[in-house]
């Protein structure tokens, strides 16, 4: 398998899953200024793009992570099909994708006005309050088990650093991210993305 990935993108979550599970998958760090190879597999030219050994292609981070985790179910990052825990994990993945990621994505729109930025900061703060309250009750997003939802959440929350949000209001989120950041697979992936 090959994963097209770029630092500071959601694809970092897929790269972490690969490293957590020790999957046989080349992680191809993509330079968006030359997408020749990526465009051969994904006409959208976006990451993550996962190319299987048989040439089939899978995109959409939330789904790519599920596929990767299912390659090694004993790794425990995604509970087995049919279990309640699996649905709770997918609920958490969807929460990150739609409530947090999509809210933050507004900040990357070019030439966003100051008024829109302030408005979206308020919306983001309300979403982060919900996340903070969940993480105040359970050690991981879907309960007691570390799953792909946590990996995704960790990556998405790392994007809040430069947004001028008062993250000090969310001690449970900060403590959780600090804890996750010490996991070897996360630390290794982040360091590699920073060229270390």
**Is residue 5 close enough to count as binding ligand GSH by CB under 6 A?**
no
Write out the two tokens for 181.
Answer: 């950041």
**Is residue 92 close enough to count as binding ligand GSH by CB under 6 A?**
no
Write out the two tokens for 25.
Answer: 């998958």
Shorter beta-carbon distance to ligand GSH: residue 96 or 177: 96
Q: How far is the CB of 172 from ligand GSH (least distance, A)?
A: 25
Q: How far is the CB of 182 from ligand GSH (least distance, A)?
A: 25
**Is residue 45 close enough to count as binding ligand GSH by CB under 6 A?**
yes
| b/e code 171-195 from CB counts within 10 Å (16+ = b) | eebeebbeebeebebbeebbebbee
Q: Cβ–Cβ contacts within 10 Å for residue 65, how many?
A: 28
Q: How far is the CB of 6 from ligand GSH (least distance, A)?
A: 6
**Is residue 60 close enough to count as binding ligand GSH by CB under 6 A?**
yes
Q: Cβ–Cβ contacts within 10 Å for residue 2, how many?
A: 16
Q: Cβ–Cβ contacts within 10 Å for residue 152, how many?
A: 28
**Is residue 10 close enough to count as binding ligand GSH by CB under 6 A?**
yes
| Sheet order of strands, 26-29 included | 26-29, 2-5, 49-51, 57-59
**Is residue 14 close enough to count as binding ligand GSH by CB under 6 A?**
no
Shorter beta-carbon distance to ligand GSH: residue 62 or 141: 62
Catalog residues that contact ligand GSH under the rule CB under 6 A.
6, 9-10, 32, 45-48, 60-61
């Amino acid at each position: 398998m090959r994963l097209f990935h770029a630092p500071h993108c959601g694809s970092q979550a897929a790269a972490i899953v690969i490293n957590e599970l020790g999957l046989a998958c080349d992680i191809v760090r993509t330079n968006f200024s030359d997408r020749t190879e990526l465009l051969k597999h994904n006409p959208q030219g976006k990451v993550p793009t996962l190319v299987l050994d048989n040439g089939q292609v899978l995109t959409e981070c939330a789904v790519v992570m599920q596929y990767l985790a299912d390659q090694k179910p004993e790794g425990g990052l995604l509970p087995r099909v049919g279990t309640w825990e699996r649905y709770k994990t997918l609920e958490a993945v969807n929460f990150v994708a739609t409530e947090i990621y999509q809210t933050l994505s507004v900040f990357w729109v070019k030439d966003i006005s100051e008024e829109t930025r302030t408005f979206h900061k308020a919306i983001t703060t309300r979403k982060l309050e919900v996340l903070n309250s969940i993480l105040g009750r359970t050690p991981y997003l879907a309960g007691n088990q570390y799953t792909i939802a946590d990996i995704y959440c960790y990556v998405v929350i790392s994007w809040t650093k430069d947004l001028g949000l008062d993250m000090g209001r969310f001690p449970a989120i900060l403590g959780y991210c600090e804890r996750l950041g010490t996991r070897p697979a996360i630390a290794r992936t982040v360091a590699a993305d920073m060229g270390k």
